[in-house]
């Protein structure tokens, strides 16, 4: 039987191992190739359920931790472990990949072997990046992920696939190489040695004159991946040209790695620089929310519409981070999961239409609801989830982000107000899309014989719908898992903020007004998490993690940095 | 002093290479004129045996030849020399394996071909063992003359003749610089000597006031210009693309890695032993010269590679820009950064395998009628599916050249850039990073051509030339690129021992 650390390693490398075995399969045998790839990824999912069940919610710090030397001369280790945040993202990944493969069953007809191998290698890359606790290891997975995605877009993509693939690659690579320099700075020890372990890097203090550069080197790499406002331009191209499977994984998981990078690396490593950068990040996030929504509104192409909606939704994630409250950060992570489910489903649905009609232009459809009722049902459900209808997955996350931002201070309130328009706009462009595709008169004769979804497609989308409902009704299943990790993240940054000389001057920036006065002997016990009275949540049990009135777990004695081996 | 045979044992590896080269010449004379199938195998076996003898005890103590102590010795066999020789012999081994099918195709499968490669390797080994500038010069010339001849092998092709002539003229030019520089340094030296340790002492004596002894400064810069020609650093790179294009493809690969590695490693010894011994080295004129060279080389090399239409020329310019990355490491080494020399050694190792691999794939796909037309990017459309294993290897080499994990190219770049950071050369590291980003584009173009275009554009398309040796050569390069990326520890340890031997012993 695997012990706990080996289980995590197994989850990460099982897809790659599967890809290796699939490479030996004969080329023409498409059914077997696809079937085996689905089996491998499903097995990975089953293994990852072991992670979910074995994860102890109440523990702070990394679980399933393992660390072995890899390149000792350079202080490089194979160190992995997960906290709640990584856990939910790992689960999202392992859940999405088999569904994606099943969804691509009939869409991919040429070079099937290469296709399934690329997807499985990609899965290992993504999982590895989520669990790596060594900067070098993280970078290796981060970059290794790029290559299969590049092939997915470049080989199985649309007309301008080469342009999109190269643009995607170069944008990401430019960011990551800057990050690599920063990683080298961080790993280079004063005594001349090297140490790439994250836990070790977290203990270091960086010269305030250097730290902002290091922070931005990390931040730019992650911002490109998210993608944040001015560096988002690769995303629409990549999404439009990518095959459905590529889009689902890109939107569902890859983008989350950017946000995850901020949470795991950029913010904790350089807290002071991060605090200085918060307003910039928040404003870029807000601009991204509104801009993404507005641009999505006018897209004639369904896939591009969904792509820009991703820019908007990921803006919420970054805003939640920048708010730096428990609610905001929890909400950001929740949005990541919810967006993975709903946008993944949206791309799959667009793929369903595209497979039948080979067009994604909205104007080519209209009134098809009567021809394809099952499809219409799924599309409406997904759009509702994506638009943030209460009781579906989109709602809790965005609500928490806005709440967390609004309550964080006076400046933050403006961000929240502007960002809230994004929620409205999301409803506008999504519903308008639904209306133009599904309802009205059947304007295009070519749609007369449109076939409804088949059993396979229903099997792909049903689990996603179930997740969308479950996440909406019972957000606690995610929020409970991530709470300790989020607390640690927020508390550490707040502690740092309070130690800054400028803190008294602009305390409103990081602390809600209602924080009780603190006693100096218990510095870390106070958390800026109390909500204003006017904004009490209506049904507290629904929101187990961040409710204002629940007293904090006696957490902050646990600063995980010191707990690590 | 008299030299006994036992004094020569440290040179056993070199002796085996020379013997193999002579055996090949004899084989050519006495064998049936038609059957030259075994030439490549003989060369490969000779190199393997030599590699075994050199590599079996890399960490053996330093041996000085033809002198009583290391300082005065013209030839120094230390761990650095052994490790460097290993790299060059590995390069030659792969080049030999890539050659036979191609040579037969192009009508130049002479046994002399392989002995020329082996003689070039001997020259390279002398370069990295040299304890003074004259020995270095002799090694350089031995290598160069062999390579001049190799370049011109396809005598009937006008491109090849042009390449050979150009390379020879430029090479002679570079030699002139080098020799004149050595003469000036000799004149500047207080003891009238050209040994590296005396050079270090001369520099130490002149303290920071190099400019007070212009002979020394000018001499050193002239020597560096001579190097810059050999490693094809901008602006002394003009010959490289034409020569790389005109030479037989395996020879191009061998030139791009072997000649470059030998020049770099020779330079590294001169820099570490001769130039950076004192603190004054940091702001000396040659450091500025080298940094400037590195920056220009990276920027120009990458920029021109970007617009090439032929894969072979693109690889030529990419090898120019790789010289720039390695120069970053040399600059860091000149600043006294301990890890930098190791980084250069490691970088050149990975560079050897990935570049030779890439040229090997091109060799595999080279047409009988050759010509520029069949080397266009567009000609390679769809190769990825016609030759899956070959194309995966090519993709791997491109990814490695671009410096992506999990390949040796990544670890090498990481090492070089990190040593630049350590030496305080942040700007150089940033330039290197910028160059790498640009380079991603043209390396991806190869992958795009192989995998993402379905129909080749009009004109001759590549055709495969299969041979067992070629397959083995490519398999070796592939394995090395992956191993150096995933489990580099062993070779990292070797580089550490190698560089330690330069710093600690005797000087």
Residue B506: its pLDDT value, please? Answer: 47
Most B-contacting residue of A143, A214, A242 (CB-CB within 10 A), to test interface: A143
Residue A557: its pLDDT value, please? Answer: 39
Range of the domain at B182: 5-504
Q: Which residues of A touch B402 (CB under 8 A)?
A: 173
Q: Which residues of B touch A181 (CB under 8 A)?
A: 417, 421, 429-430, 433
Asked if B437 lies within 8 A of A144 by C-beta distance, the reply is no
Q: A414 in contact with B at a CB cutoff of 8 Å?
A: no
Q: A178 in contact with B at a CB cutoff of 8 Å?
A: yes
Asked if A140 lies within 8 A of B405 by C-beta distance, the reply is yes
Q: Is residue A283 part of a domain?
A: yes
Whether residues A325 and A414 share a domain: the answer is yes
Query: What part of B 301-340 touches A (C-beta under 8 Å)?
Result: 338
H or E stretch covering A79: strand A76-82
If you write DSSP's letter for every residue of A489-546 in order, what string do you get? HHHHHHHHHHHSGGGTTTGGGTS-TTPPP--TTSGGG--S-PPPGGG--S-GGG--SS
CB A271 within 8 A of CB A277: no
CA A473/CA A467 separation, integer angstroms = 10
Whether residues A474 and A545 share a domain: the answer is no
Find the residue in B nearest to A217 (Cα).
B430
- Each residue's pLDDT, cut to its tens digit, for chain A (565 residues) gives 466 778 899 999 999 999 999 888 877 778 888 889 999 999 999 999 999 998 888 888 888 888 898 888 888 899 999 999 999 999 999 999 999 999 888 888 788 888 899 999 999 999 999 999 999 999 999 988 888 999 899 888 888 888 999 899 889 888 888 899 899 888 888 887 888 988 888 888 888 888 999 999 999 999 999 888 888 999 999 998 999 899 999 999 999 999 999 999 999 999 889 998 999 999 999 999 999 999 999 999 999 999 999 999 999 999 999 988 899 999 999 999 999 999 999 999 999 888 888 888 888 888 888 888 899 999 999 999 999 888 899 899 999 999 999 988 888 889 999 999 999 999 999 999 998 888 888 888 887 888 888 888 999 999 999 999 999 999 999 998 898 899 889 988 888 888 776 554 444 444 443 333 333 333 333 344 433 333 333 333 333 444 443 433 433 433 444 344 3
Asked if B405 lies within 8 A of A147 by C-beta distance, the reply is no
Whether residues A396 and A460 share a domain: the answer is yes
Q: B418 in contact with A at a CB cutoff of 8 Å?
A: yes
CA B358/CA B395 separation, integer angstroms = 9
Q: Which residues of A touch B443 (CB under 8 A)?
A: none
Domain count, chain A: 2
CB-side neighbour CA atoms (13 Å) of B286: 33
Asked if A155 lies within 8 A of B406 by C-beta distance, the reply is no
Q: B377 in contact with A at a CB cutoff of 8 Å?
A: no
Q: Which residues of A touch B421 (CB under 8 A)?
A: 181, 184-185, 188
Written as six digits, the tokens of B262 are 């030998």
CB-side neighbour CA atoms (13 Å) of B388: 8
Where do the H-state alpha helices sit in A23-111? 30-54, 84-103
SS3 A449: coil
Domain count, chain B: 1
Residue corresponding to tokens 């002239």: B222
Whether residues A445 and A497 share a domain: the answer is no
Q: Is residue A1 part of a domain?
A: no
Where do the H-state alpha helices sit in B258-337? 260-269, 285-306, 311-334
Range of the domain at A381: 278-482
Whether residues A367 and A424 share a domain: the answer is yes
Query: What part of B 172-201 touches A (C-beta under 8 Å)?
Result: none
Whether residues A321 and A425 share a domain: the answer is yes
Residue corresponding to tokens 């062993």: B490
Written as six digits, the tokens of A562 are 């010191």
Query: What part of A 200-229 touches B (C-beta under 8 Å)?
Result: none
Q: B454 in contact with A at a CB cutoff of 8 Å?
A: no
CA A510/CA A492 separation, integer angstroms = 12
Asked if A140 lies within 8 A of B448 by C-beta distance, the reply is no
Q: Is residue A76 part of a domain?
A: no
Asked if A72 lies within 8 A of B406 by C-beta distance, the reply is no
Segment B134-175, tens digit of pLDDT: 899 999 999 999 999 998 888 778 888 888 899 999 999 899
CB A466 within 8 A of CB A391: no
SS3 B3: coil
Using a 10 angstrom Cβ sphere, with 0-12 exposed, 13-18 middle and 19 or more buried, the burial of residue A494 is: buried
Q: Which residues in chain B come in under a pLDDT of 70?
A: 1-3, 32-35, 206-212, 276-284, 368-373, 504-507
Q: A234 in contact with B at a CB cutoff of 8 Å?
A: no
Instruction: Give the closest-approach CA distance of A184 to chain B in angstroms.
Output: 6
Asked if A192 lies within 8 A of B338 by C-beta distance, the reply is yes
Whether residues A344 and A367 share a domain: the answer is yes
Q: Which residues of B touch A194 (CB under 8 A)?
A: 418
Q: Which residues of B touch A174 (CB under 8 A)?
A: 437
Whether residues A374 and A455 share a domain: the answer is yes
CA B380/CA B367 separation, integer angstroms = 12
Residue corresponding to tokens 């560079």: B351
Residue B276: its pLDDT value, please? Answer: 61
Q: Is residue A396 part of a domain?
A: yes
DSSP B457: P
Whether residues A497 and A365 share a domain: the answer is no
Q: A161 in contact with B at a CB cutoff of 8 Å?
A: yes
Whether residues A418 and A468 share a domain: the answer is yes
Q: Is residue A54 part of a domain?
A: no
Residue B1: its pLDDT value, please? Answer: 52
Does the interface ipTM go beyond 0.90?
A: no
Whether residues A495 and A376 share a domain: the answer is no
If you write DSSP's letter for every residue of B10-69 in order, what string do you get? GGHHHHHHHHHHHHHHHHHHHS-TT--THHHHHHHHHHHHHHHHHHTTTTSPPEEESSSS
Residue B211: its pLDDT value, please? Answer: 54
Q: Which of B400, B371, B368, B395 is nearest to B383 (CA)?
A: B395
Instruction: Give the closest-approach CA distance of B487 to chain A in angstroms.
Output: 7
Q: B417 in contact with A at a CB cutoff of 8 Å?
A: yes
Q: A196 in contact with B at a CB cutoff of 8 Å?
A: no
């Amino acid at each position: 039987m695997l012990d706990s650390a080996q289980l995590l390693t197994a989850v990460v490398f099982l897809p790659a191992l599967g890809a290796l075995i699939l490479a030996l399969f004969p080329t023409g045998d498409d059914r077997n190739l696809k079937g085996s790839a689905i089996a491998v990824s499903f097995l990975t999912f089953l293994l990852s359920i072991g992670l979910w069940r074995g994860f102890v919610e109440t523990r702070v710090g990394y679980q399933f931790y393992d660390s072995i030397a890899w390149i000792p001369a350079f202080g490089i280790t194979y160190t992995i472990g997960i906290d709640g945040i990584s856990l939910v993202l790992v689960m999202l990944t392992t859940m999405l990949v088999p569904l994606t493969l099943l969804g691509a069953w009939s869409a991919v007809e040429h070079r099937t072997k290469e296709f399934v191998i690329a997807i499985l290698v990609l899965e290992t890359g993504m999982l590895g990046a989520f669990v790596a606790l060594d900067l070098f290891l993280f970078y290796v997975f981060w970059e290794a992920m790029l290559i299969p995605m590049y092939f997915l877009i470049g080989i199985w993509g649309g007309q301008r696939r080469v342009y999109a693939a190269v643009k995607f690659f170069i944008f990401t690579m430019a960011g990551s190489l800057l990050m690599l320099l920063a990683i080298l700075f961080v790993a280079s020890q004063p005594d001349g040695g090297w140490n790439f372990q994250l836990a070790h890097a977290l203990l270091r203090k960086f010269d305030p004159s250097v730290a902002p550069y290091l922070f931005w080197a990390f931040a730019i790499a992650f911002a490109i991946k998210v993608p944040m406002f001015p560096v988002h331009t690769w995303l629409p191209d990549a999404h439009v040209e990518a095959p459905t499977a590529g889009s689902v994984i890109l939107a569902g998981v890859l983008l989350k790695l950017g946000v995850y990078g901020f949470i795991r690396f950029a913010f904790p490593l350089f807290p002071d620089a991060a605090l200085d950068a918060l307003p910039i990040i928040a404003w870029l996030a807000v601009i991204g929310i509104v801009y993404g929504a507005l641009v999505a509104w006018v897209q004639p192409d369904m896939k591009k519409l969904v792509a820009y909606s991703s820019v908007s939704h990921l803006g919420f994630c970054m805003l939640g981070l920048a708010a730096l409250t428990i609610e905001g950060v929890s909400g950001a992570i929740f949005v990541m999961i919810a967006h993975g489910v709903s946008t993944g489903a949206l791309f799959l649905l667009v793929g369903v239409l595209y497979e039948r009609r080979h067009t994604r232009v909205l104007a080519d459809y209209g009134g098809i609801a009567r021809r394809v009722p099952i499809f219409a049902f799924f599309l409406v459900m997904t759009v509702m989830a994506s638009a943030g209808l209460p009781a579906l997955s989109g709602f809790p996350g965005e609500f928490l982000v806005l709440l967390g931002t609004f309550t964080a201070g006076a400046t933050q309130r403006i961000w929240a107000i502007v960002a809230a328009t994004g929620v409205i706009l999301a409803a506008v462009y999504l519903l308008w899309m639904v209306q133009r595709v599904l309802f009205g008169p059947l304007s295009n004769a070519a749609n007369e014989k449109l076939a409804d979804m088949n059993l396979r497609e229903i099997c792909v989308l049903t689990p996603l719908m179930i997740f969308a409902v479950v996440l909406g009704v019972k957000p606690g299943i995610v929020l409970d898992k991530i709470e300790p990790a989020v607390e640690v993240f927020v508390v550490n940054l707040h502690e740092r903020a309070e130690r800054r000389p400028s803190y008294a001057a602009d305390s409103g920036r990081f602390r809600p007004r209602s924080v009780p006065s603190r006693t100096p002997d218990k510095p870390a016990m106070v958390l800026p998490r109390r909500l204003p009275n006017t904004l009490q949540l209506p049904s507290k049990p629904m929101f187990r993690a961040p409710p204002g009135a629940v007293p904090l777990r006696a957490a902050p004695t646990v600063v995980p940095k010191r707990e690590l081996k | 002093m008299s030299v006994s045979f036992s004094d020569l044992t440290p040179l056993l590896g070199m002796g085996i290479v020379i013997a193999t080269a002579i055996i090949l010449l004899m084989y050519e004379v006495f064998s049936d004129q038609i059957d030259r199938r075994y030439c490549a195998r003989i060369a490969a076996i000779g190199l393997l045996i030599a590699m075994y003898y050199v590599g079996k005890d890399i960490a053996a103590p330093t041996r000085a030849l033809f002198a009583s102590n290391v300082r005065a010795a013209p030839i120094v066999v230390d761990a650095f020399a052994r490790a460097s020789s290993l790299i060059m012999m590995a390069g030659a081994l792969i080049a030999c394996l890539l050659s036979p099918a191609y040579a037969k195709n192009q009508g130049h499968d002479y046994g002399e071909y392989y002995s020329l490669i082996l003689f070039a390797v001997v020259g390279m080994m002398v370069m990295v063992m040299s304890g003074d500038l004259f020995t270095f010069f002799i090694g350089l010339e031995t290598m160069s003359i062999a390579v001049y001849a190799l370049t011109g092998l396809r005598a009937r092709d006008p491109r090849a003749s042009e390449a050979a002539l150009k390379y020879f003229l430029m090479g002679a030019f570079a030699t002139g610089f080098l020799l004149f520089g050595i003469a000036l340094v000799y004149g500047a030296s207080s003891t009238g000597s050209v040994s590296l340790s005396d050079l270090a002492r001369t520099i130490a004596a002149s303290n920071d006031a190099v400019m007070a002894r212009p002979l020394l400064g000018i001499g050193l810069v002239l020597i560096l210009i001579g190097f810059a020609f050999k490693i094809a650093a901008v602006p002394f790179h003009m010959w490289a693309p034409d020569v790389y294009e005109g030479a037989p493809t395996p020879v191009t690969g061998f030139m791009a890695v072997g000649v470059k590695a030998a020049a770099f490693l020779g330079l590294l010894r001169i820099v570490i032993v001769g130039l950076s011994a004192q603190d004054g080295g940091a702001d000396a004129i040659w450091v500025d010269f080298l940094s400037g060279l590195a920056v220009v080389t990276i920027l120009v090399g990458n920029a021109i590679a970007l617009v090439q239409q032929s894969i072979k020329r693109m690889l030529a310019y990419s090898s120019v820009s790789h010289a720039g990355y390695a120069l970053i490491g040399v600059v860091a080494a000149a600043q006294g950064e301990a890890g930098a020399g190791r980084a250069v050694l490691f970088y050149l190792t990975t560079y050897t395998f990935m570049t030779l691999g890439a040229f090997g794939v091109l060799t595999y796909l080279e047409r009988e009628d050759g010509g520029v037309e069949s080397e266009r990017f567009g000609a390679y459309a769809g190769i990825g599916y016609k030759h899956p294993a070959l194309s995966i290897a090519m993709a791997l080499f491109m990814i490695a050249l671009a410096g992506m994990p999990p390949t040796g190219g990544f670890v090498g770049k990481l090492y070089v850039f990190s040593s630049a950071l350590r030496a305080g050369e942040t700007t150089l590291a940033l330039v290197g990073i910028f160059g790498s980003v640009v380079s991603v584009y043209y390396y991806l173009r190869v992958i795009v051509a192989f995998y993402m275009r379905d129909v080749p554009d009009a004109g001759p398309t590549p055709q495969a030339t299969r041979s067992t040796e070629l397959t083995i050569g490519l398999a070796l390069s592939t394995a090395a690129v992956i191993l150096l990326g995933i489990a580099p520890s062993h070779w990292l340890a070797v580089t550490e021992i190698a560089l330690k031997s330069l710093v600690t012993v005797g000087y």
